[in-house]
Structure 1
């Protein structure tokens, strides 16, 4: 059980917003537009609408079972340790898969300023992940205050971008509205899961509130509203102001600021993107390296390979470098990662259907479950990787000789897509 720290509604909402707002938004509008054209706005709206039952489901779980274990805890309560291990594997192996995507978004901004194309993007990746690796190797900490400031900085950048580009919006850029059909909208929705990962942090934070049953729903409502307004505003202005050029842009926020403000905005956005991405990758590396140790301690991963924090960290680092050289485009790599996140949501909402007692709570959980299953299907063939990873976890757990009877050591500080959302964490971890 997580110790109570009297988290207020405003603080909880801010942390939840920080968990969901991610660096992916600096490029997601362009990727979604490439998949669906102006109809990508339908995908954005659908994901925002989905956020309400999904966030509410995790909030309900957190309010009823205020524990720091998050989705892993609920999976274990509902389905046992094998499914809990599947949740851990999906998060853990999504990190090296997702690191090239996250840094690839930023690499587009850097190459937009200094040129160099793919070479610059790879160099940016190596610098950022190398820095994060060294920081975590020596246990350097980034305070929760710094991480929150990063999230607030991203939100402020989005607001400024929208205001600056709004006068250049043109309604004619909405035509043709749906050039790729409904399949394009589905593909865009599957990609956009990247930008909405983090709602499960609501359940992980629940034990920190003064009154979870009262405050968690309030914080959830605020967070959903803020995230929805920001995302939809940026997506709408991107489509209306950039038009057909949006689909081919590697730095859409920089393009929007350039037409709205002029001056050296591309350099500014590139610097902001690098700082935000370094903070995010550092947090991912810190949390996932400890997740690997926890999984090994629970018998869900080989202890010889993952049994130490630095060994687990090194695996993530080397696997991430290997993934950046795979012959995959950014679109496919993003789908592979979001497929893992979506499967975790499928398991989490399925657990809610078994654990939540109220009829209305189960109805909302059922809506969320149906939606995330649909998103997993829309991901297409890349979703098979998440199923393979989950199946590997279940199989390994079944044959592992290192089973333990003690409670699972997996915690939300280790598995949350954005571990920086927790106010506190054990020594050495990023908070």
Structure 2
């Protein structure tokens, strides 16, 4: 069984590919357009927060290992209701959050091959099916794919960034006083570049020697993500703006790859989005299976296949995503509404986890980092849509007032 578990390099690659996700394609051009000289400084701030965020969740995963993930630590700090609340938050987020990720990849494919708008949803649905088939394999297979993809993408983005910086060297140090309002709103936008580290705990039972593997994997993942984002942000700042009507990530790799740049970016986008989907669905399906095994969800969701993958939970989540894609295709919901919904629940889950860490760990440095993260999360929630906050409040109330939680509690015989 030992050789079927992940080591630090495999887990680090899985984490890096998932956290980079579609953000490395979308965020650097946005940051440069908003911040100019302050772009690289903003990335330094966000990557520093990301390192704190990742190390905090790695510490929780080591202290309280289990496929259920962060709710284990939350249960220790605040009790069963709070743990169930966090579980409900993350499950609600993952019921819709991965759909915009798949749509980002599908739109990239459609742009490259001139597909019609009607074909985008079907392309995204096909990618969901591919991901489902991968997730039903052993977790080491999934992590190996993510590791290879992370290495390839990291090399391409780093090489392209260094080439662009070398051809048009521009100092990353700001020379003007920033517009603090713009800087603040931009940092809120870039904060999404570090969301994803909270899934570490869900894989704590899938690794060899968690006390060694999880910290090392976190270092590998954080280092990779930070280097890619910082160099990409610097390269985007180095681009000669007079030659372009608008900024996109393909301009960074064009000096390196020439006419193959757009195709390469399309492939990178697809691979990163798939890595994000695999990591998030893989982690949360394990949470769902654990809750089902404890009698808090229908027992059928605890079913695993011969590869020890939580097959029933994986298929349920993929089915929900197919339904969301159908609703999206027919205009019942918008992509923005799905993103807003998922963002609120991801943030609420992370806020409870940070609160648990603040109570559990006595180190002043850890507590200070928890306070900084709490401030960031609360600020982001304040900028969320009122509709999403209303749904969040409804889920919270229903979870807290029920005597048996969650509503679908079928005790196993």
Match of 1:322 among 307, 317, 327: 327
1:233 aligns with 2:231: yes
Alignment-derived partner of residue 124 in structure 1 = 120
**1:347/1:398 Cα in 2 relative to 1: closer, same or farther (>3 Å)?**
closer
1:262 aligns with 2:293: no
Aligned ranges 1:7-406 → 2 under 5 Å: 9-115=8-114, 119-120=116-117, 123-133=119-129, 136=132, 140-141=136-137, 143-144=141-142, 145-169=144-168, 171=170, 181-206=179-204, 208-210=207-209, 212=211, 216-241=214-239, 243=241, 248-249=246-247, 252-285=248-281, 287-288=283-284, 291=287, 309=313, 310-323=315-328, 325=331, 334=339, 337-356=342-361, 358-360=362-364, 363-378=365-380, 380-382=382-384, 387-400=389-402, 402-403=404-405
- Give the C-alpha shift of residue 233 in structure 1: 0.7
**1:334/1:260 Cα in 2 relative to 1: closer, same or farther (>3 Å)?**
farther
SS of match in other structure, 1:52: helix
8 Å contact 1:306–1:312 — kept in the other structure?
Answer: no
- The whole-number CA distance in structure 1 between the counterparts of 2:398 and 2:298 is 9
- Give the C-alpha shift of residue 149 in structure 1: 1.9
SS of match in other structure, 1:56: helix
- Give the C-alpha shift of residue 156 in structure 1: 2.3
What does the per-residue CA deviation read over 1:168-204, in whole Å, with 9 as the maximum and x for residues that have no partner?
A: 435399999688x323323322232332123234444
SS of match in other structure, 1:47: helix
- The whole-number CA distance in structure 2 between the counterparts of 1:3 and 1:387 is 44
- The whole-number CA distance in structure 2 between the counterparts of 1:82 and 1:323 is 33
Cα RMSD of the aligned pairs, angstroms, is 4.3
Q: Which runs of 5+ in 1 are unaligned?
A: 410-431
**1:242/1:85 Cα in 2 relative to 1: closer, same or farther (>3 Å)?**
farther
What does the per-residue CA deviation read over 1:39-78, in whole Å, with 9 as the maximum and x for residues that have no partner?
A: 3433322111112322222232233333333212112221
8 Å contact 1:96–1:323 — kept in the other structure?
Answer: no
SS of match in other structure, 1:262: helix
8 Å contact 2:107–2:120 — kept in the other structure?
Answer: no
What does the per-residue CA deviation read over 1:136-177, in whole Å, with 9 as the maximum and x for residues that have no partner?
A: 389753722223222223222212321332234353999996
8 Å contact 1:17–1:223 — kept in the other structure?
Answer: yes
TM-score, length-scaled by structure 2: 0.76
What does the per-residue CA deviation read over 1:300-345, in whole Å, with 9 as the maximum and x for residues that have no partner?
A: 7799999964455322321344357477676x86565444333322
- The whole-number CA distance in structure 1 between the counterparts of 2:189 and 2:250 is 21
Alignment-derived partner of residue 309 in structure 2 = none
Q: Which runs of 5+ in 2 are unaligned?
A: 304-311
TM-score, length-scaled by structure 1: 0.73
SS of match in other structure, 2:239: helix
8 Å contact 1:110–1:270 — kept in the other structure?
Answer: yes
**1:379/1:100 Cα in 2 relative to 1: closer, same or farther (>3 Å)?**
same
